[in-house]
Amino acid sequence: MHTVRDAVREFLRAQDMTTVFGNPGSTELGFLQQWPEDFQYVHALEEGVAVAMADGYTQITGLPALVNLHSAAGLGNAMGSIITAHHNRAPIVLLAGQQARPLLPHDPFLANLDPAGLGGDYLKWTCQPARAQDVPEALARAVQIATQPPHGPVLVSVPADDWNEPTAPVGDRFRPAPCAPNPAALQSLVDALGRSAHTAFVVGAAVDQDGAVPTLVSLVDRLGPDVWAAPMSHRCSFPENHPRFAGHLPASPGPLTAALAGYDLVVVLGAPAFTYHVHSPAQQALPPLFVLSDDPAVLSRTPAGSIGIHTSPALGIAGLITSTAPRKKLPAPPRRSTTPSPAPGSGGITAAQVLATLAELLPDNAVIVEEVPGHRSDMHRYLPITSLHAGFLSTGSGVLGYSVSAAVGAALAAPFRPVVALVGDGSLMYRPQALWNAVQQRTPIAIIVLDNGGYGALHTMAHDAQAQGVPGLDIAGVDFVRLAQSMGCHAITVADFRWLRSAVTAALDADAPVLVHVDMESCRQPLRTLHRE
């Protein structure tokens, strides 16, 4: 008898989705039993870790990934990572267990009472098939939707008694083709570029996800615009050591409009226009704006007067290369210093020194998975990302607990690329279980913990907002070395700048995960003083 379980596994093989991330529960036993030898089950100790690992995995491979969750309990535990997967455009298929069909009318224990609604708008599509026989077809549709630009997470809820039911095989499916720009719309942009004397490109994560960074570099060399990174972009979509790179746009209307004030044309590629974090009045109107995106939701919320072009970044950029003539080279935008000095008169360590040391030591093909929101400006200044493919991953949602889990997933996807998880002390404690996964999966990632004794970004924001007496901003009493060692991960503490380089080098050269706890004691007192003022 050909069962639902047989049909699902056959389809997953055909889709190259045999690496499954998950945390098992009772309602998934029918799917997990007699686990095939050609499938890999990446067991997480917590569901959010499973989803974040899958997120990092898909960011590198570009392929959909399957995550097995336990009914409403697993989906609820994973919601923070699902929100990140939504903003990261990660093609993740969530296969969630559900109680047996005869029990569902009675609201049984461990049921998902609302499988279609629990994930809300953060899921592109949800389905609990009406019949067991429909499960393979629902999964096939889920993969199609997850991989249709803009990519994103989907959910299929499967009752526990469906897996042994008979069904027919489901055929393999081709992934959706990318959309090309409308020729007339593209020509309007070409004409605007021909008239422009000072153009800015604003590039976002979708350019890198589409594998279009090398093509974008060719277009920039051809036309000579200044290139800005979009606010809050979770990937690097243009090499930051390129002479046309102008910097990172602030996520606030006032300073953003000021940064773009000198241009007569702005072209936004693979990003919203724009993602803001802090409100401030716009200082002036934006220049004429073109937005190229494969996301209709992004195009629908572009500023009034702008022109949206529905296209994949790769095809849009390629179309511009074939339709534009090379232009005279313009002076490069000013560059900022990238070489900090050690703290004078002290052996202590600052975040800038850690980031500059990484910049010197990392090979060109390294992947940095970042979660140090309190040190983002230092990272932009001292750790330029120069890779042309997935050299930088972060959380597009701001939900903490991403870095180490996603780094494990990235290392599984790219075992021959060095992977660094750059994480704050507060961020690490959201999902420390990922350290166990790093060990169990034998992923040789370097985990660099910048410990400033609290939530540094919140300290800064509280100070800027003149919010005094805010509780819960400091963290004390966590022994990060012992925490890592308890999960089998080698770990060391560095509190003196003189030993930083050797510690980071050892972590990068290791064949197993290593946690380097950077005790930035010199940074702690200023933060706490700031908090009290």
* Residue position matching structure tokens 């180490």: 404
Residues 358 and 270 in one domain: no
* Residue position matching structure tokens 């889709």: 15
Q: What is the CATH number of the domain that holds 525?
A: 3.40.50.970
Residues 371 and 479 in one domain: yes
Please indicate, yes or no, whether the overall pTM of this predicted structure exceeds 0.85.
yes
Virtual CA dihedral for 57, 445, 84, 21, nearest 10 degrees? 50
Tens place of pLDDT for every residue, the chain, 533 residues?
899 999 999 999 999 999 999 999 999 999 999 999 999 999 999 999 999 999 999 999 999 999 999 999 999 999 999 999 999 999 999 999 999 999 999 999 999 999 989 999 999 999 999 999 999 999 999 999 999 999 999 999 999 999 999 999 998 888 888 999 999 999 999 999 999 999 999 999 999 999 999 999 999 999 999 999 999 999 999 999 999 999 999 999 999 999 999 999 999 999 999 999 999 999 889 999 999 999 999 999 998 889 999 999 999 999 999 998 887 666 666 655 545 544 544 568 999 999 999 999 999 999 999 999 989 999 999 999 999 999 999 999 999 999 999 999 999 999 999 999 999 999 999 999 999 999 999 999 999 999 987 776 776 767 666 677 778 777 888 999 999 999 999 999 999 999 999 999 999 999 999 999 999 865 554 333 333 22
Distance CA 313, CA 294 (A): 7
Distance CA 242, CA 530 (A): 37
Whether 419 is in a domain gets the answer yes
Residues 193 and 300 in one domain: yes
Residues 369 and 516 in one domain: yes
Closest CA to 332 of 216, 238, 246, 222: 246
Identify the domain boundary among 280, 308, 323.
323
Which strands sit side by side in the sheet containing 514-519, from one edge to the other?
A: 392-393, 367-371, 419-424, 446-451, 514-519, 490-494
Whether 213 is in a domain gets the answer yes
Distance CA 56, CA 45 (A): 17
Structure tokens at 30: 């029918």
- pLDDT, position 529: 32
The full DSSP string for 322-354 is HH-------PPPP-------PPTT-----HHHH
Q: At what angle do helices 313-323 and 213-223 cross, to 10 degrees?
A: 30
Whether 72 is in a domain gets the answer yes
Residue 150, preceding bond cis, omega within 30 degrees? yes
Closest CA to 194 of 5, 325, 299: 325
Residues 6+ apart with CB under 8 A from 261: 283, 284, 287
Answer for the pair 288, 314: CB distance below 8 angstroms, yes or no: no
Residues 246 and 194 in one domain: yes
* Residue position matching structure tokens 């089950």: 41
**Alpha helix segments (H runs only) across 115-243:** 135-146, 183-195, 205-209, 213-223
Distance CA 523, CA 351 (A): 9
- Domain count for the chain, please give it: 3
Whether 260 is in a domain gets the answer yes
Structure tokens at 451: 């410990």
Residues 304 and 355 in one domain: no
Residues 114 and 249 in one domain: no
Structure letter (DSSP) for residue 37: T
Whether 150 is in a domain gets the answer yes
What backbone torsions phi and psi does residue 34 show, to the nearest 5 degrees?
50, 55
Residues 225 and 310 in one domain: yes
The full DSSP string for 474-524 is B--S--HHHHHHHTT-EEEEE-SGGGHHHHHHHHHH-SS-EEEEEE-HHHH
For residues 113-139, one letter each, b for 16 or more C-beta atoms within 10 angstroms of the residue's C-beta and e for the rest, the string is eebeebbeebbbbbbbbeebebbbbbb
Whether 55 is in a domain gets the answer yes
Identify the domain boundary among 127, 159, 191.
159
Whether 342 is in a domain gets the answer no
Distance CA 237, CA 132 (A): 43
Identify the domain boundary among 271, 303, 323.
323
**Alpha helix segments (H runs only) across 302-455:** 313-323, 351-361, 376-382, 403-413, 425-428, 434-440
Whether 256 is in a domain gets the answer yes
Answer for the pair 335, 247: CB distance below 8 angstroms, yes or no: no
Residues 239 and 133 in one domain: no
Q: What is the CATH number of the domain that holds 291?
A: 3.40.50.1220
Domain assignment of residue 441, given as a range: 351-532
φ/ψ region of 116 (left if φ > 0, alpha if ψ in -120 to 50, else beta) reads alpha
Distance CA 271, CA 228 (A): 11
Residues 29 and 105 in one domain: yes
Residues 42 and 141 in one domain: yes
Distance CA 66, CA 43 (A): 12
- pLDDT, position 345: 43
Residues 12 and 68 in one domain: yes
